[in-house]
Chains A and B, each alone.
Chain A
Amino acid sequence: MSAYSDIPPPPDEARQRPLGQRLREHRIDYLFLLPGLAIFGAFVVWPLFAANWFALLDWSGFDSRQVFVGLQNYRDLLGDEFFRAAFVRSILFTAITVPLQMLLGLVLAVVLNNRLLKLSALFRTMIFLPVVTPVAVIAIVMALMLSPFNGPINDLLQSTEIVQRAVDFLGSPQLVMWSLAGIYVWKWTGVTLIYWLAALQTVPDELYEACKLDGVRGWQVTRYVILPIIAPFAVVIGLISAISALNVFPLIQATTQGGPFFASEVMEVFIFRTAFAPPSGTFPQLGYASAAGVLFGLAVMGLTILQVLAVRHARRKEPTNG
């Protein structure tokens, strides 16, 4: 019988005690939770509710004059071509960068996962370097690199005669979104690489060995064994990447502030401009900006729900016997 004495008593006893008593017992634990909860409440929970209320007001956000206008802000937004353009731009930016980033990350991960590659740790670090570099630094460096006035990239393009005249990567309304997408993918591919490498770690070594014995060759192993096994991770990695691609505000604010001529004004920049009316803007409209934020939030939430449903659907198609 002594062998069983190590097992702790069932937790029923703890569960039956009243809530107040349990709170008192763990008061130190809750005390330590408080600062975190306070910050979370002030900067996440409160703005979430506040924005929904502000969206119903005609309010600059800077004076005490608040006029309740109901859904008027939403009606105005639907007719606002800047809002519509920013909305589409955000979605397009995500639709372009996410697949690119995921594909690039996957290819790099498959290559760098090869143990025979001696310098793989060095390459991983190099690819991860832009991720840990602050956005502001990247923005300044990129502005210099891509500058049409003696920027090294234009120098290179011209000296190799790929282009005749300097290209204004960040100053041309036609090119600016593509340039920003390029910078964004370059900065963040390192993160996707890490996600894919983590996914590849789930493939046991024995599978590679079984392939060796079966005479399955390099690309066949990747195509028929590795990729199908790590494919389910694509949904999660795609979701995380999409959320991060919608939060592109710092990069754009630091490079183009939405210009030239609003050509790189994504949703977040639009909201920022209407809410706080930076020097170039008109007058601040916090109520109007809040309504834009709520609408965009709903759209993203809708997309997320679709994605989660798609994952559930995919999972259900593959029954397990538990």
Chain B
Amino acid sequence: MSGVILNNVKKRYGAVEVIKGVDIEIGEGEFCVFVGPSGCGKSTLLRMIAGLEEISSGDVQIGGRRVNDLDPKDRGAAMVFQTYALYPHMDVARNMGFGLSMNGWPRDEVDRRVNEAARILQLEPYLDRKPRQLSGGQRQRVAIGRAIVRDPEVFLFDEPLSNLDAELRVATRLEIAKLHGTLENSTMIYVTHDQVEAMTLADKIVVLRDGRVEQVGAPMDLYETPDNLFVAGFIGSPKMNFMALDNGRLPDGTAPAVPGAAGAATLGVRSDALRPVESGGDVAGEITVVEQLGDAVFAHFRTGWGQEMVARFEPGTRLRAGESVRFALAGRTHLFDAEGRALRAAAERLTA
């Protein structure tokens, strides 16, 4: 049992409360991603689990033990930093084995563990290189290796891909996903502001905002049934389109064919739930920008009441800025009340 439980965890810096009572349960072997905008407290929360930040109140448990007062090294958590934090003057093998050596581990056991980690991470050819002789991706693998050799109950990743270029980020993301498969039963907590990383890696996503948990759930649950406007807007790319409703009517006075719309304040619809139609439809506008992505075309358009929205078209669709478009709501729609909470009653509407 090596899960992590956070129980009403708070963090205060003087009078400022940055973590405002967080409850999260992460099961053994689970890959949990903390995601949220800058300053939402996700890194602070991770550092509190690691022991790098004091816990102002509440409990943190790792593997059933309360670890609030334990030294970072005794918590059974290993951390991978955004900046890798490798020791620049040590070679790769020494970087990975340094902590064990300093804690008096026998040399052959340190070597065995370092070699095993190097094998898993395909770092064997680089064991005697210094960090500056490695590429960014290799450095990040060494940082992960340093975590692996400790055989921790929990791996903590603090935005590990942020310092890599786009291509390497995708490759390393895949490697981390594979690593989670290789290291059975190892719990991983991963902090990112990138919702794509969250969606692709996580078993469970924790969306944080302003020191509070907005929603916890599996990636597709958050995508399909967001609890509130914030989660709906944060998860998914491009961002969900939101339209204000007044007594079930859009700003231009038309009433979209969505059951339950009368009691809602906001109507949310993703770009792929807007189906282009020749005439009629629920929303009309004029195209402002066309983004060709190869596997999809995103058309940004301005509605009659001046709102910017985005719709997804099939690849190869020819569109021009200035063109008029009409859409029917043809997929999942989301309704939110005046406080931004999701109205679960909003029914799914299938393509007519």
User: A residues bordering B, Cβ < 8 Å?
Assistant: 204, 206-207, 209-210, 212-217, 220, 224-225, 228-229, 318-321
A209 touches B52 (CB 8 A): yes
CA–CA, A215 to B98, complex, Å? 10
* Residue in A204, A213, A220, A319 whose CB lies within 8 Å of B50: A213
A212 touches B51 (CB 8 A): yes
A224 touches B98 (CB 8 A): yes
Chain A residues with CB under 8 Å of B89's CB are 228-229
A217 touches B132 (CB 8 A): no
User: B residues bordering A, Cβ < 8 Å?
Assistant: 50-52, 71-74, 77-79, 81, 83-85, 87-89, 98-99, 102-103, 130, 132-134, 146, 150
B105 to chain A, nearest CB (A): 11
| Residue of A207, A209, A228 ringed by the most chain B CB atoms within 10 A | A209
Chain A residues with CB under 8 Å of B98's CB are 214, 216, 224
B102 touches A224 (CB 8 A): yes
A212 touches B85 (CB 8 A): no
Determine the residue in chain B with the shortest Cβ distance to A225: B87
A213 touches B130 (CB 8 A): no
Chain A residues with CB under 8 Å of B85's CB are 204, 206-207, 209-210
Chain B residues with CB under 8 Å of A212's CB are 51-52, 72-73
Chain A residues with CB under 8 Å of B50's CB are 213
Chain A residues with CB under 8 Å of B150's CB are 214
* Residue in B73, B103, B130 whose CB lies within 8 Å of A318: B130
B95 to chain A, nearest CB (A): 9
A-B contact pairs, 8 of them (CB 8 A): A204-B85, A207-B87, A214-B150, A215-B71, A217-B102, A224-B98, A229-B88, A320-B132
CA–CA, A192 to B64, complex, Å? 50
* Residue in B77, B78, B83, B102 whose CB lies within 8 Å of A204: B83
The 3 A-B pairs with the shortest beta carbon distances in the complex, nearest first, are: A214-B99, A215-B73, A206-B85
Extra pairs beyond A215-B74, A216-B102 (5, CB < 8 Å): A206-B81, A209-B79, A214-B99, A225-B87, A319-B133
Chain B residues with CB under 8 Å of A321's CB are 132-134
User: When A204-B85, A213-B73, A213-B79 are in contact, do A220 and B133 touch as well, CB less than 8 Å?
Assistant: no
CA–CA, A114 to B60, complex, Å? 28
CA–CA, A1 to B84, complex, Å? 37
| Residue of A213, A216, A220 ringed by the most chain B CB atoms within 10 A | A213
| Residue of A210, A216, A320 ringed by the most chain B CB atoms within 10 A | A210
Chain A residues with CB under 8 Å of B84's CB are 206
CA–CA, A216 to B84, complex, Å? 17
CA–CA, A207 to B89, complex, Å? 12
CA–CA, A217 to B74, complex, Å? 13
Chain A residues with CB under 8 Å of B52's CB are 209, 212-213
User: When A212-B52, A213-B73, A321-B133 are in contact, do A220 and B83 touch as well, CB less than 8 Å?
Assistant: no
